[in-house]
Amino acid sequence: MLTRFWWIGALSAAMATGAHAQTPMQDDPYQWLEDINGEKPMEWVRAQNARTEKALGEAALYTSLYNDILAVLDSNEKIPAVSKIGDYYYNFWQDKTHVRGIWRRTTLNEYRKKSPTWETVLDLDALNKAEGKNWVWHGASCLRPEYTRCLVSLSPGGSDADTTREFDLNTKSFVKGGFEKPVAKGDLSWIDQDHVYVDTDFGAGSMTTSGYPRTTRLWTRGTPMSEAKVIYEGKADDMSISSYHDDTPGYERDFVSRNLAFYNDELYLRDGNALRKIDVPNSVGKSVVREWLLLELRDNWTVGGKTYAAGSLLATNFDAFMKGGRVFDVLFTPTATTSLASFTPTRNYFVLNVLDNVKNRLRVLKHDGKRWQTSEFTGAPKIGTVNVSAVDADSSDAVWMSYSDYITPSTLALAEIGKTPEVLKQNPVFFNADNLVVEQHFANSKDGTKVPFFIVHKKGVKHDGSNPTLLYGYGGFEVSLTPNYSGTIGKAWLERGGVYVVANIRGGGEYGPAWHQAALKQNRHKAYEDFAAVAEELSNHKITSPKHLAAMGGSNGGLLAGNMLTQYPELFGGIVIQVPLLDMKRYNKLLAGASWMAEYGNPDIPEEWAYIQKFSAYQLFDPAKHYPPTFIFTTTKDDRVHPGHARKMAAKMLAANKDVMYFENTEGGHGAGSTNELAAKATALTYTFLWKALDGK
C-alpha cells in the first residue's frame, strides 16, 4: 500500500536455530551509501533508477498503470477535506493544474454544493516559481478569535524539516518582518498576537540525539529568534521537547511536553514561571479538554485504592486533580475484542470511536453534572471504517463523519450529535467493485494467537493457488490497519484480478496497548510470525501459492517486509520494501532512529543487540540463499527513516546477483512523492513489478 505519507515517528525473527538460522554479522562495505546527497551515492542512485525505469518503466503495463493511478490522484471529484477557521472552511488541494497545490477556502453553504466556489488563499506553484523553491505544504495554524494571522509551514521537497512563516489571511500574503522559523525539525505555535512558542534548532546542543528540539522557548514579536527565552530544556537523549497554548475560551492554559520516547512522556502545566507536572505514569496518554483531564492507560494503574485496566479511558476534573484529587470516572474499559481507537470532544459531548475486532463502533458520552450518560451515535454506519472529528468544539456539537471500506468509496457527512447525519460529499467510484467481496478471517500464529486479516477478492474466486495476491502489513507503534477505500489499489490491483490482503498483526493497535506491547523488542519475532501465519493460511486454502504471493510494507512495515525476505523467502514470490528500516545495527545513529529504541531496543547494548540482530534484515541477508524478486523504494528527502537503509540493502543484494529492483524518488519525504506525478510514478513502478513477479505480465 504505497501512500503519499507513512506513519512512524521515526517493525518474527525466528529462533537462532533450525530452518531460519542466523548468519554472523560482517563489516559493512556499503556504509558510504549513508551519505545522503554525496556525489558518489547519488551517482549510484541515478544508475539504479535508470536500470529500474528501463526494466519496468518502458513496459506497456507501466504506462497503463501510471495513467490510471494519476487519474485517481488528480481527480477533481475527490472529497475536498475541510477544516473550519473562523467563518470559512479551508482545504488544501492538488491536481494536474495545481501540482504543488493551493490553499483555498469557501463557506459552508458553498461547500454543500456539488461544485463549490473556492477562493484561493495561497498558491504553492506560484510561490515556488517566485522563490525558486520546491515547497511542500505542511499545514497552517491560525490565531483565534480574529483568525486573521496564521503560521504556515512549508517543507523543502517533503522532508519533516520545515519552515514556518506568519501569514495574513486578509491580504493573503506572508507578513513582512513577522514570525519566521528557518527550515529545521520543530514547531512554531501561537500564544497570542505577539508571542509564540518556538521549538527548533538553535545550534550546538539544542537538538536531541533523535534529531528533534531539546529546548522550548518563548519568542516575543520584534525580537530576534535567538533571544527567545528558554522555558524548558530536556536531556540530550530525550526524544523531543515542545510547548503549546490551549486557547479554549475560559480554559486558557499553557503546557510543556517532554517526550522521552514513544508512549513515554511527561506533561507539565505552565503556571507563571513554574512548571507543575501532571502526576500520572509516563505511559499514560494525557489530554486536557476544558474542565476535564482525560487519561488513556497503556498499563494497569493502581491509584486512589483502585486498579484500572490497561486500555481504559479515565476522566476527572483537571483543577481537582491538580489539587490532589484522585477520583476518576471510567469512560471506556476494553474487552478481549475491543479497544479505544480515539475520542473526539465537541461542545457538550465526547464521541468514542471503538474498535471491535477491527470494526469501528461509535459511542456518545455526556456529563449531566453528576455522572456520565452513554448513548449510541445516531446514524453511524454499521460496517466499514468510521472516523469523526469536531467541526468546532468550542461552539457546536457537530462533527465530520467519514466512512468507507475496501470496496466502498468514502462518504463525508456533517453530523450534529443526536440528529440524522447530512451526507455532504462522496468520492467517485475509481474502480469496478461489482464482483468483489470483503471477508475477515483469522490465522493461528506460531504461539496459538489468532491473528485477524481482511481479504478482498472476486466472488467465486478459484481455490487453485493461482491468484496473484498482495499481502500488506505494518505491525508497530500501536498503529491499527482498518478497511479503507483506495482508488490506487483498486485500479492497479483489484480491478485487474489481484487478491488484496491486510494482516492485523501484533505490534499494531487493533486490540489496544497489549497487542502492541506483545511484539516489542525481544518479542518482535511475534509480529513476523503473525504475518507468516497469514501467508501460510492463504496458501493452505489455495487462495494463492508462494509463487503468486507478495509481501509489502513501508517504514516500520518495510522492516517487516525485509524480514519476510530474509527469514521466510519460501513463502513468497515477490517482496516490496518501501522507505524501510533494515540495518538495525545502525538505525539508532541514522536521522530520527534513536527515537524508536523503545520499540526495537538499543543495538549498542550487547544484551539488546543479541535479540535485535535476530530481526535486522540487513545483517540477516545471506548471499548463498535464494530470495524471491524484490522491489525496494525510498526517497532522498526522507529525513525520518534514512534512505541508507534501502540503498545498502539493494547494493548488498545486487552484489550477490539477486533479483532486485531499486527506485529512489528525489522528493517526497517519508512517502511516495511530493506531487501526484511523483507518487503515480513510484506506485506504477511498484505494481508493474508485482504483476511481473507474480503473474508474468
Query: Does residue 11 surpass a pLDDT of 70?
Result: no
Query: Does residue 12 surpass a pLDDT of 70?
Result: no
Mean pLDDT of all residues in 230-249 = 97
Q: Which stretches does DSSP call E strand in 469-616? A: 469-472, 499-503, 549-554, 574-578
pLDDT of residue 23: 40
Query: Does residue 14 surpass a pLDDT of 80?
Result: no
Q: What are phi and psi of 475, to 5 degrees?
A: 65, 55
Residue 649: which H helix or E strand, with range?
helix 644-655
The catalytic residue among 210, 243, 312, 555 is: 555
Mean pLDDT of the chain: 94
pLDDT tens digits, one per residue of 464-489: 999 999 999 999 999 999 999 999 99
The catalytic residue among 486, 616, 670, 674 is: 670
The least confident of 22-36, 277-291, 343-357 is: 22-36
**Reported pTM:** 0.93
Percent of the chain with pLDDT over 90: 94
pLDDT tens digits, one per residue of 368-395: 999 999 999 999 988 789 999 999 999 9
Query: Does residue 514 surpass a pLDDT of 60?
Result: yes
The least confident of 187-201, 342-356, 576-590, 667-681 is: 667-681
Residues 635 and 606: beta-carbon distance below 8 Å: no
Mean pLDDT of all residues in 521-538 = 98
Strand, coil or helix: what is 683?
Answer: helix
- Establish whether 75 is a catalytic residue: no
Of 136, 118, 116, the C-alpha closest to 128 is 136
Cα–Cα distance, 4 to 670 (Å, whole number): 8
Mean pLDDT of all residues in 630-643 = 96
In CATH, what number does 42-71+430-695 get? 3.40.50.1820
Cα–Cα distance, 400 to 136 (Å, whole number): 26
Cα–Cα distance, 293 to 316 (Å, whole number): 5
- Establish whether 541 is a catalytic residue: no
pLDDT of residue 382: 81
Who contacts 58 (Cβ-Cβ below 8 Å, separation ≥6)?
Answer: none
pLDDT of residue 696: 77
Q: Report the DSSP beta bridge partners of residue 265.
A: 259
At residue 697 the predicted structure's pLDDT band, cuts being 50, 70 and 90, is: confident
Who contacts 271 (Cβ-Cβ below 8 Å, separation ≥6)?
Answer: none
pLDDT of residue 672: 81
pLDDT of residue 669: 85
More confident residue, 666 or 67: 67
Query: Does residue 13 surpass a pLDDT of 80?
Result: no
pLDDT of residue 671: 87
Q: Are strands 549-554 and 469-472 parallel, antiparallel or unpaired?
A: parallel
At residue 142 the predicted structure's pLDDT band, cuts being 50, 70 and 90, is: very high
Cα–Cα distance, 89 to 392 (Å, whole number): 11
Mean pLDDT of all residues in 130-159 = 96
Residue type, 143: L
Mean pLDDT of all residues in 347-361 = 97
pLDDT tens digits, one per residue of 153-166: 999 999 999 999 99
